[in-house]
Copies of this chain bind each other. A is one copy, B any other.
Amino acid sequence: MQTLLWQRAREPFKGRWSLPGGYLAQHDTLEESIRRHLAEKVDVRELSYLEQLETLSDPKRSPQEWQLATAYLGLIPSDIDPELPGDSDWHPVDDLPPLAFDHDSIVLAGRERLRAKLSYTNLGFALAPDEFTISELRDLYAAALGHDVSATNLQRVLLRREVLEATGRQRASGPTGGRPGSLFRFRTPELEITDQFAVLRPPGPARLPVA
C-alpha cells in the first residue's frame, strides 16, 4: 500500500514531500481540478476510484497565505505501475517522510476512510486487478486494513454478499508449487454499499437467500 507523493519545488515547504494537488481554476469542479492536477503526474485513466474526503480550513494550515483545501482519496489497482516524473514517487504508507502542510492528517483520514469502506462496501474493486486469487486479495486487504485477514473468511463473506464472482479459470501455480488458486473478479466496478450492517434494521424477514 503506497502513497503517491511529490517533492515541492517552491516555498512554502520547499523540498518537503506532499500530496499531489494544486489550485482550483475558475469554473472548475473540484473533481475535475483534482483529475487535471493529477494528470500532470500520472496517467489518470488508471484511477479506479475518487472520493471527496474533507475540506480543511484552519487559517494557519498554510504559513503564508490564507487558503482552503479539499482533500480527495484516489485509488488505483495494485497491478498497474504508471510512469512517474522525477519529482514524484511512491512511498509506503506505513513509513512516510514528514509531509508538508496538514497532509499527514489527510493521509490518516484517507486510510481511515478506506479501511471503513472496505468493511461495508465493495470498494476493493478499486484496489484489485481484474482477476485475482483469494490469497492475492487477502494480501491487499491485509495491507489496507493493517492486520491479518483470513482468506477463508474473506472469500465466504465477499461471496455471500455477492461482491465477488468466480471466473472459472485458475491461475498457474507459483514457483514454490502449491495448489493453483481459482480466479475471481468483482461483480461491479462501482461503489455499492453492502447494507445489512445498518444495525437497527427495518423489521421484516431476512434479506439474502442463502442460495
Contacts and interface: CB of A to CB of B under 8 A. Distances in A.
A105 interface: no
Describe A's contact surface by its main secondary structure: loop
Nearest to A161: B199
Complex A-B, nearest 6 residue pairs according to Cβ-Cβ distance, in ascending order: A147-B202, A30-B57, A119-B199, A27-B59, A55-B55, A119-B198
Given A30-B55, A66-B26, A202 B148 contact: yes
A59 to B, nearest CB: 4
B52 A118 contact: no
Interface residues of A, number: 36
Given A120-B199, A141-B200, 15 more contacts: A24-B57, A30-B55, A30-B57, A30-B68, A52-B55, A55-B55, A55-B70, A118-B200, A119-B199, A147-B203, A149-B200, A150-B203, A154-B200, A157-B199, A197-B197
Interface of A: 24, 26-31, 52, 54-55, 57-59, 66, 68, 70, 115-116, 118-120, 141, 145, 147-150, 153-154, 157, 197-200, 202-203
Task: From A115, A116, A199, name the one whose CB has the most chain B CB atoms within 10 angstroms.
Answer: A199
A30 B141 CA distance: 35
A145 B28 CA distance: 35
A193 to B, nearest CB: 9
